[in-house]
Amino acid sequence: MMSLLASSSQNTTLHELIMQGEQTLRAYHKQDAAIDARLLMCYLMGCKDITLILNRDEIVSGQLEESYLYLIARRTQGIPLQYLTKSQEFMALDFYVDERVLIPRQDTETLVEAIINISKKQPMHQMIEIGSGSGCISISLAHYMPDVQITAIDISQAALDVTLKNAMYHGVDHRINCIKSDLLSDFKGEPKSIDLIVSNPPYISKEECKDLMQEVNDYEPKLALTDGADGLTFYRKISNQVKPFLKPNGILAYEIGYNQGEAVTNILINEGFQDIQIIKDLTGKDRVVIANYFKSS
């Protein structure tokens, strides 16, 4: 924990410094200015929010003040909070994140929860994730499903390095095998050996990218956001490539954009998938598509 003790020439309290940070963020129209101001201080001090309350009247050190105001300045530039703190919670687990990977979203928890629920009725042992990024999907599934082995695939070695870092932190690296591959082109698994293949592919269209928030468009990896086309490119490719590897009645699970349910369903039907269902997120928007291949009789 960074020291709160200051030299005698300093007279700024912890509360005053946080308020200064909040006011600066508000001046730059940051929507969650108060939350961000506190979280950046918690990050610097290595503490919980309650510590800020208990020590609000303590005089801060010059080192802490300088470091804090530097982070506030970086935040005013639009750098996402998670890239500054190197952390994002997902499925009640803490994940390391940086500019190499997309920041995990709560929407994606709908996908993970759907898979866990299905596994209670249909046992799963071998899984593949295509486009692992931070590893939040694979690692959450490995954490909550202790019998599963997962192959985490990404075209970016930098992203796979983050996946492995998070897998090691959560103690599931022995059950996650990372492979650098363009989709399944370099996957050498046995045919009809996989219970489930999951993907949260880049599904934002080229047109929709124009309307993204600055923080997303300027700082998160474009490779993980958009296909540079209609947003459906990877659903077409993946839905075709996975078929040789899925077991009879194997499952393909996607996260989708709120307006892509019908289009992705049609892609799956054309590829011979059955029992297709769309699951909505907490806001009532289409978010997940689940489908079976070679449905058993």
The mean pLDDT value for 150-167 works out to 98
Claim to verify: residue 71 and residue 92 sit in the same structural domain: no
- Mean pLDDT computed over every residue of the chain: 94
Residue that terminates a domain, selected from 28, 54, 77: 77
Q: Is the pLDDT of residue 234 over 80?
A: yes
pLDDT of residue 294: 73
- On whether both 180 and 223 belong to a single domain, the answer is yes
Above 50 in pLDDT, residue 297? no
Question: Does 133 share its domain with 256?
Answer: yes
91 alpha-carbon distance from chain centroid: 10
Residue with tokens 């269209």: 205
Query: What pLDDT is recorded for position 214?
Result: 82
pLDDT tens across 63-86, in order? 999 999 999 999 999 999 999 999
Q: Would the pLDDT of 112 be above 80?
A: yes
Confidence of residue 4 (pLDDT cuts 50, 70, 90): low
Cα distance between residue 128 and residue 100, in whole Å: 21
277 and 242 in one domain? yes
106 and 23 inside one domain: no
User: Do the domain assignments include residue 268?
Assistant: yes
Give the per-residue pLDDT at 11.
86
Question: Is there a single domain that holds both residue 48 and residue 141?
Answer: no
Q: Which of 30, 55, 77 is the last residue of a domain?
A: 77
Tell me the residue range of the domain where 237 lies: 88-293
d(CA 25, CA 34) in angstroms, rounded, equals 8
Q: Is the pLDDT of residue 205 over 80?
A: yes
Are residues 113 and 149 located together in one domain of the fold?
A: yes
Q: Of 32, 53, 77, which residue is a domain's last?
A: 77
Is residue 2, in this structure, part of any structural domain at all? no
What is the average per-residue pLDDT within 156-176? 98
Residue 1 lies in a domain: no
In 3D, which of 150, 156, 125 has the Cα closest to residue 137? 150
Q: What are the structure tokens assigned to 47, written together?
A: 């503490």
275 domain residue, yes or no: yes
Return the DSSP state at 1. Answer: -
Phi, psi of 234 (to 5 degrees): -75, -25
pLDDT of 1 strictly over 90: no
pLDDT digits (tens, 9 = 90+) for 81-111: 999 999 999 999 999 999 999 999 999 999 9
User: Domain with 151 in it: what CATH number?
Assistant: 3.40.50.150
Using a pLDDT cut of 90, give the percent of the chain over it: 92
Asked if 50 and 106 sit in the same domain, the reply is no
- Vertex 68, ends 62 and 71: CA angle to 5°? 145
Q: What are phi and psi of 59, to 5 degrees?
A: -80, 130
**pTM of model > 0.95:** no
Q: Are residues 185 and 105 part of one domain? A: yes
Banded model confidence at residue 8, pLDDT cuts 50, 70, 90: very low
